[in-house]
Structure 1
Amino acid sequence: MASIESITQIPGIFAAHATNAEAGTGCTVIVCPKGATGGVDVRGGAPATRETDLLRPEETVQTINAVVLSGGSAYGLAASCGVAEELERHGIGLDVGVGVVPIVSGACVFDLACGDPHVRPTAEDGAQATRLALAGNGEPLARGNVGAGTGCTVGKVGGPTRAMKSGLGEDVEGVGALVCGAVTAVNACGDVVDPATGAAIAGLRTKDGEALASTEDEILSLAAQMPLERRTNTTISCVVTNARLTKPQATKVAQMAADAYAHAIRPTHTTNDGDTVFVMATGEVEAQVDVVGVLATRALERAIADGARGATAAYGLPAARDLA
């Protein structure tokens, strides 16, 4: 298979963003019109999600048509409704005899502290991103301060004055004909590190704002005096693969890929994070589940680092490229 740089180049997969840079929010839509086998893993303590129960292996629906990654906290779930309505207009979804019901799963990040807290992704934003996705010609998905990554930040345990801008990242890995790609909106409480070296990329800054500190060390130093932080964090991701998987196998891949958070975010899966990983498998290539899981984990950990490196300063917050 020719080299693939983005999930939009995986046959049967379409993706696009709706971005509101002024308000600091947006959504990212990943569509598989023919349906993809879905899985999910939710590990954070404060998720805002749609149709995750449906993805449990024992439930009857076998495929999903779209995954929506959105800003806006729980309000942003409205974007998924717009995606479903737009897919219905295209005749895409589960045939129920009297029409189709698109199967759309999604999750949201809390980005209300960026830009305008009263503006959140709407159903029209979801529909717009879906139209753009379906009209796509395989161009790589934009990254950084776009879509669900528009209002993402990291390193927030010291308050907004010590946080940093993050964004939406992507990576694609493959072996032979097997491809696994990952898209992620990095909005973590903790710090993002290079998964290969452990070197800090972005996160909590020192009090003078000139260098990186450590969220883990900050938490330990506060100990009993640790303030109860609002649930303003979450890293949400979608792994897309051309592997042929059953629902239980897709669930296992999601569980394995969730380890990427521990490899690239410190700390992760806290009570203030709603960390979620979706899987969409198009079924084109026979593959061993553990091989898919390893590729998915590698793609997601590199996508997380990409989300931190690709962001640009916004809303008064510096990005990784702004620090010496």
Structure 2
Amino acid sequence: MTPLNSTLTAVPGFRVGHWTHLEAKTGCTVVLCPPVGAVASASFLGPSPGTREGVLLAPDKKIERIHAVLLTGGSAFGLSAATGVVRFLEEQGVGHPTPAAKVPLVASAVVYDLLVGDSKVRPGEAQGYEAASTATTDPVPIGLVGAGTGTTAGKYGPPETIARGGLGSSYVARGGASVGCVAVVNPIGDVVGPSGEVLAGPGTGVHGPIGTKAAEVTNTTLLVLATSHAVTKPEAKRFADAAQAALARVIRPSHTPFDGDAAFFLSSADLPAADALLMTALVQDAVQEAVWSAIER
């Protein structure tokens, strides 16, 4: 019997693909929206987010729908992987209609993983294309995969006690509504469980030395949430904000001066709108479950 899908791809129309380099400890992850795109907004917290098309997602901007989200290692170098995602989508005839061509809109965000593996190996155009072209509706692989490959946690102590992070995913449903989430877990703080126990922090699942000043530069948690329920762009922004708030449940401390967290919220709008309070609760539960799954593998 095929197990139920408890990851983001349980939301109809969304696909996820990875490119992973285990030796260099880096990778990228692509969330593909339905061909018509998804209503989208985002929330960015922290002093140093690395993004592409982030401004486009503000509620006051004209464009409502995007076609994919790229999460990637490699710091700002990794943003070049978005070009490969754009090329793949163009080949599929997917994009925002303009007089000259359909233009695929790919929002992107990065984590800094250059101190973990080989800093000269970074996701680029070819790797973004591969992640997009292999995206499926299968349950999302989790752990040290894709953009989560080189992630770490608990980086406020000695370098030798830094813990592994990872990529997680979840799908939560109740009251006739549902939300899926992908999380790339790379915070300076600890990942904590439901009773406050440390799941990833100094001495738990040690990664190894990654540099004496790692805490200053290597932190960011990335979230992508998806639903089938119709939302407006301002509502999508509020749900992205709620997703950021949920990180305080599971990462302590969260949103520090050394984090650059990003949360994207996507809606295919295939179903009627759900109750806003219920959706907020589902968003926050989905974030919690996705972060835990990245560590508990």
Task: Name the TM-score class by shorter chain.
Answer: over 0.9
Per-residue deviation at 1:266?
Answer: 0.5
Residue equivalent to 2:121: 119
Per-residue deviation at 1:85?
Answer: 1.4
Unaligned runs of 5+ in 2: 207-212
Q: Does 1:16 align with 2:17?
A: yes
Work out whether residues 12 and 34 of structure 1, in 8 Å CA contact, stay in contact via their aligned partners in 2. no
Matched position secondary structure for 2:216:
coil
Using structure 1 for the length normalisation, give the TM-score.
0.85
Q: Does 1:234 align with 2:220?
A: yes
Per-residue deviation at 1:289?
Answer: 2.2
Work out whether residues 28 and 131 of structure 2, in 8 Å CA contact, stay in contact via their aligned partners in 1. yes
Work out whether residues 166 and 187 of structure 1, in 8 Å CA contact, stay in contact via their aligned partners in 2. yes
Matched position secondary structure for 1:279:
strand
In structure 1, distance between residues paired with 2:27 and 2:51: 16
Residue equivalent to 1:222: none
Question: Identity across aligned pairs (percent)?
Answer: 39
Residue equivalent to 1:97: 99
Residue equivalent to 1:155: 154
Residue equivalent to 2:171: 172
In structure 2, distance between residues paired with 1:287 and 1:125: 37
Matched position secondary structure for 1:255:
helix
Residue 297 of structure 1, aligned match among 281, 284, 289: 284
Using structure 2 for the length normalisation, give the TM-score.
0.92
Work out whether residues 243 and 292 of structure 1, in 8 Å CA contact, stay in contact via their aligned partners in 2. no
In structure 2, distance between residues paired with 1:99 and 1:114: 40
In structure 1, distance between residues paired with 2:10 and 2:294: 20
Work out whether residues 257 and 294 of structure 1, in 8 Å CA contact, stay in contact via their aligned partners in 2. no
Q: How does 1:47-58 map to 2 (within 5 A)?
A: 47-58=49-60
In structure 1, distance between residues paired with 2:223 and 2:164: 18
Partner amino acid for 1:199?
E
Unaligned runs of 5+ in 1: 211-226, 311-324
Matched position secondary structure for 1:261:
helix
In structure 1, distance between residues paired with 2:4 and 2:284: 19
Distance 1:152 1:191, change over 3 A: same
Residue 76 of structure 1, aligned match among 67, 73, 78: 78
Residue equivalent to 1:192: 191
Residue equivalent to 1:278: 264
Residue equivalent to 1:40: 42
Matched position secondary structure for 1:54:
helix
Q: How many residues align?
A: 287
Q: C-alpha offsets along residues 167-204 of structure 1, whole Å, 9 cap, x if unaligned? A: 0011110124421011011000010001x221111112
In structure 2, distance between residues paired with 1:157 and 1:277: 23
Per-residue deviation at 1:9?
Answer: 2.8
Work out whether residues 183 and 223 of structure 2, in 8 Å CA contact, stay in contact via their aligned partners in 1. yes
In structure 2, distance between residues paired with 1:205 and 1:4: 32
Greater C-alpha Rg: 1
Q: Does 1:205 align with 2:203?
A: yes
Work out whether residues 166 and 309 of structure 1, in 8 Å CA contact, stay in contact via their aligned partners in 2. no
In structure 1, distance between residues paired with 2:198 and 2:216: 24
Residue equivalent to 1:319: none
Q: C-alpha offsets along residues 80-133 of structure 1, whole Å, 9 cap, x if unaligned? A: 121111111111010102111111101001111111011111111111011011
Name the Cα RMSD after superposition: 1.8
Residue equivalent to 1:130: 132
Per-residue deviation at 1:229?
Answer: 4.2
Q: How does 1:242-257 map to 2 (within 5 A)?
A: 242-257=228-243
Of the structure 1 ranges 283-292 and 182-191, higher mean CA displacement relative to structure 2 is found in 283-292
In structure 1, distance between residues paired with 2:167 and 2:215: 23
Matched position secondary structure for 1:34:
coil
Q: Does 1:259 align with 2:259?
A: no
